[in-house]
Amino acid sequence: MGKADLAVEVSGRASLTKAQAKSAVDAVFDIIQDALTNGDTVSVTGFGRFSTKSRAARTGRNPRTGESVAIAASKTPSFKAGKALRAKLCKGEPG
């Protein structure tokens, strides 16, 4: 499901026009992106938590040449599913 499909689903479930739903979906993603950019965590109860993780600088290898390459430290987005979402996905199965 893409962002456009998500907007169509939101418009049907929330009784909004497709334009209003697209605007709402865009706004939610922009807010999450802005929060993560500022180093904040976004928690949606029952769904999950969006955060960032830091990756340390390391040395890698170019697979073509075998030459060592320095890889700079970076941050990457992370998502951890909430308890309710995990339960719905597992449908009662342990693990």
C-alpha span between 49 and 80 (Å, rounded)? 5
* pLDDT tens sequence across 35-89: 999 999 999 998 999 999 999 999 999 999 999 999 999 999 999 999 999 998 8
Q: Where are the beta strands (DSSP E) in 1-95?
A: 42-44, 48-55, 58-61, 68-71, 74-81
DSSP string, 6-29: HHHHHHHHTT--HHHHHHHHHHHH
* pLDDT tens sequence across 1-26: 999 999 999 999 999 999 999 999 99
- pLDDT-based confidence at residue 93 (cuts at 50, 70, 90): low
